Amino acid sequence: MIYVTGYVTALIAFGAIDAVWLRFMGPALYRPTLGDILLTDVRVAPALVFYAIYPVGLLVFAVMPGLKSGSTVTAAGLAALFGALAYATYDLTNFATLRNWTLQITVLDIAYGAAASAFAAFVSLLVVRAVSNA
């Protein structure tokens, strides 16, 4: 039950913060720079696959080690590292290969990935602790 609770909580926490980020930063950061290469409608299937698998990484690489060590700092720190690495893979590849991709987007997106991942893992760990101790 710990795995299911951790996964669902990480999914909800990450999905919520990502929805807010994309709602406000999409028009302010991404659309002005990348407008001509952005789709008018999101491709739902690849987005759903991302949101289904990303919390698995948070759970395996951050939440479970945080639970094992008993440390929210460990969970948040490992999640920040995981997020920074995952987002850096995407952003640095785009920066290297897409003419419209900017250093500003790269840096902000990597920092966001680290922060959003840390937040989601932190919340997930707290909920798992609360449920498992209840």
pLDDT of residue 133: 82
Residues of the chain with pLDDT under 50: none
The per-residue DSSP string of 78-119 comes to: HHHHHHHHHHHHHHHHHHHH-TT--HHHHHHHHHHHHHHHHH
Amino acid 42 reads V
Q: Can you read off the two tokens belonging to residue 111?
A: 């920092």
pLDDT of residue 61: 98
pLDDT of residue 134: 57
**Contact predicate 87/113, CB 8 Å:** yes
Q: Delimit the domains of the chain by residue range.
A: 2-133
Question: Which residue, chain included where needed, has tokens 């290297």?
Answer: 96
Residues in CB range of 68: below 8 A, 6 or more apart: none
Spatial separation of the C-alpha atoms in residues 45 and 124, rounded to whole Å:
25
Spatial separation of the C-alpha atoms in residues 16 and 111, rounded to whole Å:
17
Residues in CB range of 111: below 8 A, 6 or more apart: 84
pLDDT of residue 30: 94
Of 64, 71, 61, 54, whose CA–CA distance to 17 is shortest? 54
Amino acid 132 reads S
